[in-house]
Amino acid sequence: MWVFTISTNLGACICQNPLQLPSTNGSFCFCNPTYAITSTTTVCFDCRTVLYFSNSTVNGSCGCSNNFMWNNTSLSCNCPSPYVVSGGQCIACGSNNTYTVAKVTAISCSCAHTYLYWNPLGYCDCGPNTAMVINGTVIHCVVCNSTVYSIGQKDSYSCLCPSPLSWNPITRLCDCGSTAVIANTSTGYQCIVCSSSIWANGKHNATACICLSTALYWSYTTFQCVCTQANSVVFLTAGGVH
């Protein structure tokens, strides 16, 4: 980029300040690569002092990172409207995958649903201690508490589960997987596999197995299938479970 120079009797040019470098043939001066020319086109500005500088100059201006744009008047990287500053980035409101609609302030967007809240990280979610579970176009906000066997929020999209449970976005709770159920014992949660060893042949829901016979029901205290008739025991014959 051209800047003003001072001619010498030798036909070469002397640069106006130490931040300017002479061209190879000495016919003009330009700013050091990490500097930009200000609006006066006579002063080299140190881009390294600019927030969001991209470590390079573009056509004599400081390059900006993360969608910020250089403003030659304020000598700064600005986030132009309708973008907002979030998490050190200049982001656009109205993105489907962030559930935002429009710019509200310089640092926030409005949300696509009244039950969603702006997250300073750059998107809308269900708020603190809540998981946002997305099923197609339907959004569910699940409070991460003991009702869903959770001990708190893990991130915007899942709850934190105690061992050995894991988050299941389909059932929207902490679960034991497809073949086991939750047993809340005196020592904590356990996962009980629904198998014939406990007179079961599948999972009914998060806390109960399907019993091998209608003569049996699931016990939430012994965590196995037991006889519906009092003072009876389960025995297996060729004809099935009795």
% of the chain exceeding 90 in pLDDT:
44
Residue with the larger pLDDT of the pair 77 and 5: 77
Please indicate, yes or no, whether residues 242 and 183 belong to a single structural domain of this protein: yes
Please indicate, yes or no, whether residues 90 and 150 belong to a single structural domain of this protein: no
Domain range enclosing 38:
5-70
pLDDT at 4: 46
Residue with the larger pLDDT of the pair 180 and 237: 180
**Cα(141)–Cα(115) distance, integer angstroms:** 8
Residue where a domain terminates, one of 175, 190, 210: 175
pTM of the model: 0.66
Please indicate, yes or no, whether residues 113 and 145 belong to a single structural domain of this protein: no
Please indicate, yes or no, whether residues 49 and 38 belong to a single structural domain of this protein: yes
Residue where a domain terminates, one of 175, 206, 234: 175
Q: How confident is the model at residue 3 (pLDDT cuts 50, 70, 90)?
A: very low
pLDDT at 128: 94
For 9-35, the pLDDT digits (tens) are: 455 566 766 666 666 666 667 777 777
% of the chain exceeding 70 in pLDDT:
80
Please indicate, yes or no, whether residues 17 and 58 belong to a single structural domain of this protein: yes
Name the domain count of the chain: 4
For 29-67, the pLDDT digits (tens) are: 777 777 776 655 567 778 888 888 888 777 778 888 888
Residue 93 Cα distances to 14, 103, 160, angstroms: 49, 6, 29
Residue where a domain terminates, one of 24, 43, 70: 70
Average pLDDT, the chain: 83
Please indicate, yes or no, whether residues 238 and 224 belong to a single structural domain of this protein: yes
Question: Which of these, 19, 23, 18, 26, lies nearest to 47 by C-alpha position?
Answer: 19
Please indicate, yes or no, whether residues 9 and 65 belong to a single structural domain of this protein: yes
Residue holding tokens 């906000």? 141
**Cα(33)–Cα(18) distance, integer angstroms:** 13
Please indicate, yes or no, whether residues 190 and 162 belong to a single structural domain of this protein: no
Please indicate, yes or no, whether residues 58 and 104 belong to a single structural domain of this protein: no
Please indicate, yes or no, whether residues 52 and 42 belong to a single structural domain of this protein: yes
Please indicate, yes or no, whether residues 133 and 111 belong to a single structural domain of this protein: no
